[in-house]
Amino acid sequence: MTFEANSLILTMVPLLGGLLGFAVWSQPNKLKMLLTLVTVLSLVSAFVLSDQITTSVGGSLLLYLLPLAACVSLLVQLNSHDDQLSSVMTVVFLGLGLGALTSEGVTSQVFLAVLLGLVAFLLFKYRNPLWSSSWLGIGVFGLAAACAGFSTGADASTALIASLLVSAVLLPLLPLQAGYVMSVTRLPSSLSAFMIFLLPVLGLNNLAGLIAEVPTDTAYSISILALVSIVFATLKAMVQSRVPLVLAYGSSAFFAILWWFLASSQTVTPQNVIYLVAVALMATGLMLAWQVICSKYGDDVDMRAVHGLVWSMPQFAVLLTLLALAAMGMPPFGVFAGFVGMLLTTTYATYIPLIFILAAWLAASWYIMSMVQKMLFGQKQLEIRQIKLHQSEFASLLIIVLISVALGVLPSDIAGV
């Protein structure tokens, strides 16, 4: 079969699965089982077709991890009335993401435009009238959708600028990171967790074909913007009291670090891919862990009200600790391997930017550990003492931890560029 046919098959499996989900819409348990099975079938399809499909970056790694990220996002048990729509849209976005990842040229940009437009629509649906920044997020994704569509018919220089704007929305960079933050904090249940992984992956894939063509002056400006983004996102993460906002701004700071390395070298290396995948997976894992807590406490719980999980949910506490250590960049996890790999493979004109990068890293170690330590220890919470972690939730978090370890110990060749 041709490359286009294989890409179409990989794309249509989750899209058709999402449509099939409407047949069992009134049966939430069956719907969740069906959609989880669809993600597994997508993973199997990726394995079977990986030798016949190429991506702009990451080799087959991203083809495998995208369905896995969707699968683990669906495994968390939630009681939200929006859980059904969220689950179906998770699978639909998986299909659109695979389409953008495996197609080329105009087709890839069309998939991106549709995906970004759908995100803008969902943000409008779930907007908070009292939160003015909701409109900023909607506008950012609307702009990105328009840029993705416009780039298909524009001249080379204009298309380059439009595609860079799309990449700055997907892989968050000031002043366009509001869209990413809103998608993480406003979209419900499994959809928000999956977006943390999907959007940056598509951003790097879109950027891989552009970064070498960016003029030197523009690349230097991007590196300055990246440093400003690192400082801004780090400071915002340090003052938040809601876990989704901490994760949104914290991961934005880590992605801005990647932007600086990409702008400085104007090339995408396997270490860049390992770093991005590991950061996105850890943020997804921590979001899923928070959703597990919300399923016990309620959706509007403040993280300062959660204490004593190490006694009431010991299995969960172990996994949460491992996720936190991985997110902080400790060995032998993937974030550490990717970050050190980037440090060792980049040539520096000056070491001053590294001061900002290392300061952001140390700050992340502080606010992540502080957040997790408060939830794990402290006064025991009697009301959840008898509640056990569901097997599917345990499997979801364990899979993410194991993937992070694999990213940290396996050769970087697994992320062939």
Instruction: Tell me the three-class secondary structure of 54-74, residue by residue.
Output: CCCCCCCHHHHHHHHHHHHHH
Cis amide bond preceding 332, omega within 30: yes
User: How many domains does the chain contain in total?
Assistant: 1
Q: Is 416 inside a domain boundary?
A: yes
Q: Is 155 contained in some domain?
A: no
Give the per-residue pLDDT at 27.
Answer: 81
pLDDT string in tens for the chain (417-residue length): 565 777 788 888 888 888 888 888 778 788 888 888 999 998 988 888 877 776 666 678 888 899 999 999 998 876 555 678 888 899 999 999 998 888 877 888 889 999 999 999 998 888 777 666 778 888 898 999 998 888 777 777 888 888 899 999 999 998 888 889 998 988 887 888 999 999 999 999 888 888 888 888 888 899 999 999 999 999 999 888 888 888 999 999 999 999 999 988 888 888 889 999 999 999 999 999 888 887 776 666 666 667 677 777 778 888 888 998 888 888 888 888 888 888 888 777 778 888 888 898 889 888 888 888 877 776 655 454 556 778 888 888 999 999 999 988 887 666 655
Q: Is 239 domain-assigned?
A: yes
* 9 Cβ contact partners less than 8 Å away, ≥ 6 residues apart: 1, 45, 49
Q: What pLDDT is stored for residue 253 in this prediction?
A: 92
Distances (CA, A) of 40 to 66, 68, 372: 11, 8, 31
In a domain, 349, yes or no: yes
Q: What is the pLDDT of residue 296?
A: 72
Provide DSSP, 229-293.
HHHHHHHHHHT--SHHHHHHHHHHHHHHHHHHHHHHH-S--HHHHHHHHHHHHHHHHHHHHHHHH
Supply the pLDDT for residue 11: 85
Instruction: Tell me the backbone φ, ψ of residue 204, rounded to 5 degrees.
Output: -65, -40
* pTM: predicted TM-score of the whole model, two decimal places: 0.90
Alpha-carbon span 39 to 31, nearest angstrom? 13
Residue 193 lies in a domain: no
Please classify residue 165 by burial: count the beta carbons closer than 10 Å to its beta carbon, then call 0-12 exposed, 13-18 middle and 19+ buried.
Answer: buried
Chain length of the chain: 417
**Cβ neighbours for 220, distance < 8 A, ≥ 6 positions apart:** 263
Residue 348 lies in a domain: yes
Domain that holds residue 382: 214-417
Question: For the chain, how big is the Rg over CA atoms in Å?
Answer: 20
Per DSSP, 26 falls in state T
- pLDDT for 85: 84
Closest by CA position to 207, among listed 196, 218, 194? 218
286: in domain: yes
Q: Is residue 18 part of a domain?
A: no
Residue 278's pLDDT is 92
Q: Is 259 exposed, middle or buried (0-12, 13-18, 19+ CB in 10 A)?
A: buried
User: What is the number of other CB atoms lying within 10 angstroms of the CB of residue 39?
Assistant: 26
CA angle 185, 72, 269 (to 5 degrees): 80
Say if CB 138 and CB 120 are below 8 A apart.
yes
